[in-house]
């Protein structure tokens, strides 16, 4: 009996409720199955393909956002340039009347282009087809400005020649610029600069049908990087629709950490709910969009139940956290406040460096390998707080109260968290964020067990860049981890931060951090 073909047999909301339970932090249990934490070796073909996709790409939403900003600034510059040539007199700048029309006209023009769907990828690829809409949107923008000027009875304040020249020059610019954009998009699509990289999870006929449907999309921006499936050759051939099967789901996790993958598409019958949930339990720790293909015949969902890839319906299971413009905003936030912190705290940094240098032999800066974004290994900077001959770069043995390895100066630096200040340079390098889950040493342990063996889903905290401070730290989960529950609670707070991120939350954490540091109970 084929339940997939019955429209009422599948409830997307019920699946989403079950998916939300996957993210509940529970103790890890020994299992022969892959738990999402330990790495596996990729086969040579998978390694080769992963290396081909190491370079970053630019998502369509990022490029379209930049295009909106570029067109706004260019239309504004065109109007201002004509004003300088025709209206402005020597020694006089632009008046408030002209400035308001310049900014308002460029903004309204971009808004109307957006409403005319002129910023969709298909529209950008077909500039001649969209030319009438583009010119109409630009003309309506000027009509709206003319009406506003008329009702405010301020027409005598503006030059009609300037107004008409701006309209004509802006129209010519938009037509020519869209031709250049169309050529650039085609070139970016060919060289892989602008694409969404996807991996198909599950093989056989469902994967074949999915791939064929994707390839038939007229404006497809999905690059399929390979197929992963746990089933043997009888049920899942090694080649599906021309794409190789690169390994098992366990190997997929490692593949997605080596390559820059944007999306995982699960190609399984929607009736296979138990298998889908088992897959998601392994895959949700990755910083990628996870979609469930919903293209089976006979299924009709409400529009809000799924998203579209071209005309192909997909159920949105997990979204990549802090993606696209959110990532840009967070990076600007990090750089700005890191520079401010360095300008304010440079005397503290110099004083701490001198104290470390002259009170014990060894380097000023201690470098430790820790897990960064997507499980990558990064070197985190700290002021050295231990005697050089007793230092523990692996952090297998946690620092405890009265630890003889810690220098007298180091004890003060650790309690006050001044030893963490060099990580501001990690932030400027792009390895850390100011706010995020704290990076742990790669060998950090709790009672002789690595954290991934204590907490199921531990590596899900690496879906975003780690931070100098975080939600867990300002809520009291700071310092020594001498009990399994401490790493569980810390991970729960980290996952809450990832799921509820906003710039306001980052600002709140940053503001509260100095006050929370006054509590040195768990800092040794």
CATH code where residue 241 lies: 3.40.50.20
Say whether 349 sits in a helix, a strand or coil: helix
Could you give the residue ranges of the DSSP H alpha helices within 83-220?
A: 96-115, 121-125, 127-151, 160-191, 204-215
Rounded to the nearest integer, the mean pLDDT of the chain is: 81
* Whether pLDDT at 73 is above 90: yes
pLDDT in tens, 394-441: 666 667 677 788 888 888 888 888 889 999 999 999 999 999 999 888
**Secondary structure (DSSP) of 100-115:** HHHHHHHHHHHHHHHH
Distance of CA 359 to the CA centre of its chain: 43
Range of the domain at 289: 3-57+195-320
- Spatial contact of 481 and 446, defined as CB atoms under 8 Å apart: yes
Residue 524 lies in a domain: no
Say whether 331 sits in a helix, a strand or coil: helix
Domain count of the fold of the chain: 3
Query: How many Å apart are CA 43 and CA 264, to the nearest integer?
Result: 20
Clarify whether residues 223 and 266 are in a common domain: yes
What is the strand order of the sheet 289-293 is part of? 239-240, 243-247, 222-228, 196-201, 263-266, 289-293, 312-318, 307-309
For every residue of 445-506, which 3-state class applies, written as one string?
EECCEEHHHHEECHHHHHHCCCEEECHHHHCCCCCCCCCHHHHHHHHHHHHHHHHCCCHHHH
Clarify whether residues 215 and 293 are in a common domain: yes
Clarify whether residues 138 and 259 are in a common domain: no
Clarify whether residues 155 and 241 are in a common domain: no
Residue 521 lies in a domain: no
Clarify whether residues 304 and 244 are in a common domain: yes
pLDDT in tens, 324-348: 888 889 999 999 999 999 999 999 9
pLDDT in tens, 105-152: 899 999 999 998 888 887 888 889 899 999 999 999 988 888 877 776
Strands 243-247 and 222-228: parallel
């Amino acid at each position: 009996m084929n339940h997939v073909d019955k429209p009422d047999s599948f409830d997307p909301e019920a699946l989403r409720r079950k998916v939300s339970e996957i993210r509940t932090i529970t103790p890890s249990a020994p299992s022969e199955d892959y738990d999402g934490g330990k790495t596996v070796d990729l086969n040579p073909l998978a390694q080769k393909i992963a290396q081909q996709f190491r370079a970053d790409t630019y998502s369509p939403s990022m490029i379209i956002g930049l295009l909106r900003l570029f067109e706004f600034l260019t239309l504004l510059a065109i109007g201002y340039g004509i004003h300088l040539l025709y209206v402005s007199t020597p020694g006089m700048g632009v008046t408030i009347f002209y400035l308001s029309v310049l900014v308002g006209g460029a903004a309204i023009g971009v808004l109307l282009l957006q409403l005319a769907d002129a910023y969709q990828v298909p529209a950008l690829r077909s500039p001649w087809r969209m030319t009438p809409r583009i010119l109409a949107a630009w003309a309506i923008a000027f009509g709206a400005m003319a009406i506003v000027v008329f009702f405010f009875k301020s027409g005598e304040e503006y030059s009609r020649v300037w107004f008409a020249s701006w309209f004509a020059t802006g129209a010519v610019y938009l037509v020519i610029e869209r031709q250049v954009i169309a050529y650039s998009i085609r070139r970016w699509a060919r060289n892989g600069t602008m694409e969404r990289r996807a991996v198909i999870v599950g093989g056989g006929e469902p994967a074949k049908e999915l791939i064929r449907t994707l390839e038939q999309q007229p404006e497809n921006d999905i690059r399929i990087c390979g197929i992963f499936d746990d089933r043997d050759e009888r049920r899942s051939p090694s080649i599906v629709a021309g794409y190789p099967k690169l390994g098992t789901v366990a190997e997929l996790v490692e593949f997605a950490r080596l390559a820059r993958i944007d999306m995982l598409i699960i190609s399984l019958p929607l009736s296979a709910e138990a298998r889908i949930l088992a897959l998601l339990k392994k895959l949700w720790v990755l910083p990628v969009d996870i979609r469930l293909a919903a293209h089976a015949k006979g299924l009709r969902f409400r529009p809000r139940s799924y998203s579209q890839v071209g005309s192909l319906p997909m159920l949105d299971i997990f979204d990549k956290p802090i993606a696209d413009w959110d990532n840009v905003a967070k990076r600007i936030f990090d750089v700005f406040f890191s520079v401010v912190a360095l300008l304010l705290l440079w005397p503290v940094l110099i004083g701490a460096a001198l104290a470390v240098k002259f009170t014990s032999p060894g380097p000023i800066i201690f470098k430790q390998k820790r897990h960064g974004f997507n499980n990558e290994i990064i070197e985190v900077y700290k002021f050295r707080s231990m005697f050089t001959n007793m230092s523990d770069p692996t952090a297998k043995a946690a620092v405890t109260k009265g630890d003889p390895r810690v220098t007298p100066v180091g004890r003060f630096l650790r309690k006050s968290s001044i030893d963490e200040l060099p990580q501001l340079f990690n932030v400027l390098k792009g390895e850390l964020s100011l706010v995020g889950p704290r990076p742990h040493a790669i060998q950090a342990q709790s009672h002789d067990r690595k954290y991934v063996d204590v907490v199921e889903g531990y590596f899900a905290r690496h879906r975003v860049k780690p931070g100098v401070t975080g939600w867990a730290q300002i809520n009291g989960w700071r310092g020594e981890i001498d009990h399994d529950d401490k790493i569980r609670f810390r991970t729960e707070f980290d996952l809450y931060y990832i799921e509820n991120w906003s710039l306001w939350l980052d600002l709140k954490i940053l503001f509260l951090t100095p006050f929370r540091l006054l509590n040195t109970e768990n800092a040794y």
